[in-house]
Each structure stands twice: as structure tokens, then as C-alpha cells.
Amino acid sequence: MTRSLSTLVASAVALLLLATLPLWLGNTYYINVASQILYWAVFALGLNVLVGWAGLTSLGHAALFAVSGYTAAILVTAGHSHLVGAVAAIAMTVATAAVFAVLALRATGIGFLMITLALGQILWGIAYRWASLTNGDNGINFKTRPQPFGLDLTSAPAFYYLALLVFLAAVASMLVFVRSPLGAALRGTRDQPRRMTALGYNVWLIRFLAFLLSGFWTAVAGLLFLYYNQFISPQIAALQTSAEALLMVISGGTATILGPIAGAAIVVIMKNVVSAYVERWNMVLGIIFVLIISFMPEGLVPGVRRLIGVAWRGMRPAKAVITVRGEASS
């Protein structure tokens, strides 16, 4: 009871802080960083459905993210409305995710990772080479942010509130999903796929649906990315983006809701800070990756929770078993 009460209080405080953030943060630059954290967090939450709850590590999600952005950018540039662009972008991305899922779910574990990586690289190749459609390496400029219900989103705080609304919707959907029968079944397919099959669950279908849900939030995040940057280029479909998103999930802690959000905040802040001083973001990304994989593979949120737990129990040496969380087997 006290635990749920403290969770409630913490959530209320967090909500209040987030809702008033533009007021006490003031500076446009920081508000923009906050917006970036929010849409990357949506992306990381979407990816976490597969990586965390399904135990399927995808390295092709940047391609889905880019499909969404490109679809909207191409349609709106061709003269369609923002609404058509957004709906088509989400539909197109979920359809692409379905194709990815059909192919990648032939395998689990490492095979799944390889196939999603190859598929992602192929879509990157399309974005890069099919210049008549995507304008190749030059990318596409996206002239205006949409104006839903006549609201002007050009200012930093206005865009922040849009991102916050979408982010809260994503968090709410994750809370519902995790507690839903489908969410429980998905965790079952991660931990005990054979037993789930024996119990009469359609393991393949459950994973397929999880892939679609993951694709949906990736598409939404891709749209926000496009609206925020008003520009999209093949760079965003590259392996680095998939790796960054995966780093957010893993560094924060897979199969938690807070983890990917914390991970997104850490990665975006580090990226902004590092980029301000040196041009070596990829090097830093690689180093953090190696360090986290080697020393804190369970992620920061569970890691910190474990440390707090250890402190709570009077500094008894914890015998923590550290493994990268649940890799599904067939």
C-alpha cells in the first residue's frame, strides 16, 4: 500500500515537473533538448516492447523510424495535407514492420538480430540510392510543422507540449500493455516459449503482434522526429540510429518502463553535451556501449535499484547474477 502510494506521489510530482518544464527551464535550447528526449523516449519504449518484453533484439528499427519520417515528408512535400501524411506514415510503417516481422520471426535470438540488421540496411540503401524518390544523400526539407486544430507548433514550448502529450500516451499504452493478457503472454514467450506453445498459445502470433505495437510507436516517434527537425536524410536510417535506440533501452534497463525513458534522457543529454565539445559522438557511443555491456548489462534503472536494495538490506554483499536480459529461444 505504501509502495503504491509512493509510486503515485512520485508519478504526480514527475507529471507536474514535466507539465511546467518550459516555465522553470526557460531557455529555448533546454526546452528543445527536453523535446528530443521525449520523442527518443517514445522510440525507445517502442523498441523495448521487442527487446525487453519479447526478448527479441532488433537492430533494424532505425529503418522503421525512417520509413515513417520519409513517408510523411514525401507526401506533404507532394502537396498532401499533414493529416494524410501522418496517417499514411503510420500505416506504411506498421505495414513495413509486418513484413520485417514475417521475415525476422523465422528466427529468434542472434538470427533475429541479423535479419533485422540486414533488412534495416536494405531500407537505408533505398533511402540513400533511390534519389528520385528520397532525394538521396541531400535528404528532404520539410517546410512547416503541422498545425493541429489551428495550434501553432513553431515555438519550442508548443512543440514540447505536443511531444509531451504523445509521450504520455506512449507511457500509458505501455502501462496498459504490460498488465494486459497479451503483455503477460509476451513475457511468457520470452521466458518459456515451449511451455507457452504447450499451453496452447500461438507464440508466433504473439510475437508478431508485439512487433506491430513496437512498429506503431516507432512510427509515431519518427513523425515527431520529422516535425522537430523539419528535415530527414538517410543518416537517420543508418545502423548508428538503431544502435543509439538500443543503447537507450539497454542502458536504462530492458523490460521496464522507466528504463528506456531514463536511457533516452541519458543518451540525448550525452549526445548534446559531447557534440558541443568534440565531434567524436560515434566514438563516445561505442565506448559507452562497450562499458555498459561489460559492466552493467542489466541497465541503470535495475542496476541502481539493486544498489539501493543492497544498501537497504544493510550493505550485505549482494550476489547479483548479471546477464543481458532474456534472449528468446525458439
Partner 1 sequence: MNLWLVLAINSITLGGLLFLLSAGFSLIFGLMRIPNLMHGSFFMLGAYMGSTFLAKGFGFWPAALASAASMAVLGGLVERFLLRRLAGQELAQVLLTLGLSFIIADACLMVWTGDPIQPSTPPDLRGAIIRSGLVFPIYRLAIVGVAIAMAIALWLLIDKTRIGAMIRAGVDDAPIARVVGIKVSQLFTLVFCLGAALAAFAGVVGSPYLSIYPGLDAEMLPLALIVVILGGAGSLPGALLGSFIIGFLYNFGQAMFPDLAYVILFVPMVLVLVLRPQGLFGRVAL
Footprint on this chain of partner 1 (rule: CB under 8 A): 57, 59, 103, 106-107, 109-111, 113-115, 117-119, 121-122, 125-126, 129-133, 238-240, 243, 246, 250, 280, 282-283, 285-290, 293-294, 297, 323-324, 327
Q: Which is nearer to partner 1, 280 or 313 (CB)?
A: 280
CB of residue 188 vs partner 1: minimum separation in angstroms?
Answer: 20
CB of residue 111 vs partner 1: minimum separation in angstroms?
Answer: 3
CB of residue 55 vs partner 1: minimum separation in angstroms?
Answer: 9
Q: Which is nearer to partner 1, 97 or 170 (CB)?
A: 97
CB of residue 204 vs partner 1: minimum separation in angstroms?
Answer: 14
CB of residue 118 vs partner 1: minimum separation in angstroms?
Answer: 5
Residue 231's closest CA among 325, 144, 111? Answer: 144
Q: Which is nearer to partner 1, 35 or 48 (CB)?
A: 48
Q: Which is nearer to partner 1, 37 or 328 (CB)?
A: 328
Q: Which is nearer to partner 1, 22 or 299 (CB)?
A: 299
